Structure 1
Amino acid sequence: MPYHKNKRQGFEAAQQAYVQFQEAFENLHPEDSDYGHQFKIAEQELDEAIQVIQKAHMNASEHQRKQLEMYSREIERYKQELME
Structure 2
Amino acid sequence: MPYHKNKQQAFQAAQQGVEDVEELYYEIVQDSASYGHQLKHLKNEVNEAYQQIENALEVASEKQRAQLEQFQSDLQSIVNEVNTNP
- TM-score by length of structure 2 reads 0.88
Q: CA deviation at 1:32?
A: 1.1
Residue ranges of structure 2 left out of the alignment (5+ in a row): none
For the aligned residue pairs, the C-alpha RMSD in angstroms reads 1.1
2 CA distance for matches of 1:46 and 1:82?
Answer: 12
Which structure 2 residues correspond to residues 5-44 of structure 1 after superposition, within 5 A?
A: 6-44=6-44
Q: Does 1:49 align with 2:49?
A: yes
Q: CA deviation at 1:13?
A: 0.3
Q: How many residues align?
A: 80
1:65 alignment partner in structure 2 = 65
The one-letter code matched in structure 2 to 1:54 is E
2 CA distance for matches of 1:7 and 1:67?
Answer: 13
User: Percent identity between the aligned chains?
Assistant: 38
As a proportion of its length, which structure holds more helix?
A: 1
- TM-score by length of structure 1 reads 0.89
Residue ranges of structure 1 left out of the alignment (5+ in a row): none
